Amino acid sequence: MSNIILTVNNLSKKYGKLTAVNSLSFEFKSGEVYGILGPNGSGKTTTLAMLSDVIRSTAGEYRWFGTKMGSNQRRRLGIMLEKPNFYEYLSGLDNLKIVADIRGVAHSEIDDILKQVGLYERRNSRFKTYSLGMKQRLAIGATILGNPEVLILDEPTNGLDPEGIAEVRNLIIELANNDKTIILASHLLDEVQKVCTQMLVLKSGNKIYQGSARGLDKNSQLIEIKAEDIIKLKNALDNSTDYIKYEDNNDSILVDIGRDKNGADLNSYLHSKGVSLSFLSQKSESLEENIFDLLKSTK
């Protein structure tokens, strides 16, 4: 059973009359990849900054590994809250040596980290020659110096092109597979769906959802079907008790089969009514669509 590594109780941050984060409470467990999601201004970065001890909370508290933040807890965290900030004219290797010296980490770790983030062959190249994806991978490499248990990443793919996004995504997946707990903030919902196992959704500083992506599934499944005899197909659906909710899309039919049935059940029923399908495909709503619906429905 996973251990609880982070407990947050009624955490709030105000800037004058503006409430950036409003009484957040949640728990995170080890071994998961958490995505903190929400539109701009939802409180994602502020939340991570408080949890990283970069800014002070206005109210509430949080505990890492059961105790308040201190040097022992901080050493167990790898934190990347801003864009990569390295010396342009130094190599990736020399930049990591500086970070290692600041953190008291042996230089002997650096080669392995450069290999892990896919930059070993470019270790002696100046930072300014790196692509945006390479710069971001070097920044993630800096966070894993000292082998922290938890990585905190704020918008790790922000501003990257599709190739850079894929590079960082694959690195995050690899780190997660190596028993790292990862907490990342992002507005790129498609990317979060590909790497995160759990989600915390914020809106205007308030928590509106916490759980797995599967928990956002609606109480319906849509199946697209086709048949040569569309009239006979629609008659069979009209005379059913389970499949009367459907939409006619001219050359195909979109059937709502609920959550208790599957495509095989629908095909079997239609076959019993003498309808042979030429096409059947499950249509699933994306995580992005489900979260947008959640944000719109939450005042």
128 with 149, same domain: the answer is: yes
Number of domains within the chain: 2
Q: Do both 263 and 133 map to the same domain?
A: no
Residue 242 lies in a domain: yes
Q: Which ranges of the chain does DSSP label H, i.e. alpha helix?
A: 44-51, 71-74, 92-103, 110-116, 132-143, 162-177, 189-195, 230-238, 263-272, 287-297
Higher pLDDT, 84 or 202: 202
Q: Using the predicted structure, report yes or no on whether residue 11 has a pLDDT greater than 50.
A: yes
Q: Tell me the residue range of the domain where 78 lies.
A: 4-216
Decide which of 216, 249, 267 is a domain's last residue.
Answer: 216
Question: Measuring CA to CA, which residue among 193, 196, 146 is closest to residue 176?
Answer: 196
232: domain CATH number?
A: 3.30.70
Global pTM value = 0.74
294 is a domain residue? no
- 266, 226 contact by CB (below 8 A): no
30 found inside a domain: yes
Q: Which of 216, 237, 257 is the last residue of a domain?
A: 216
CATH code for position 142: 3.40.50.300
pLDDT tens-digit readout, 118-148: 999 999 999 999 998 999 999 999 999 999 9
In terms of domains, do 28 and 150 share one? yes
Rounded Cα gap, residues 144 and 138, in angstroms: 10
Shared domain for 148 and 253, answered yes or no, is no
Summary mean pLDDT of the chain? 87
Inter-residue contact 195 to 169 (CB < 8 Å):
yes
Asked if the structure places residue 136 within a domain, the reply is yes
Q: Is 228 exposed, middle or buried (0-12, 13-18, 19+ CB in 10 A)?
A: exposed
Buried b (16+ CB within 10 A) or exposed e, 133-162: bbbbbbbbbbbbbbebbbbbbbbbbeebee
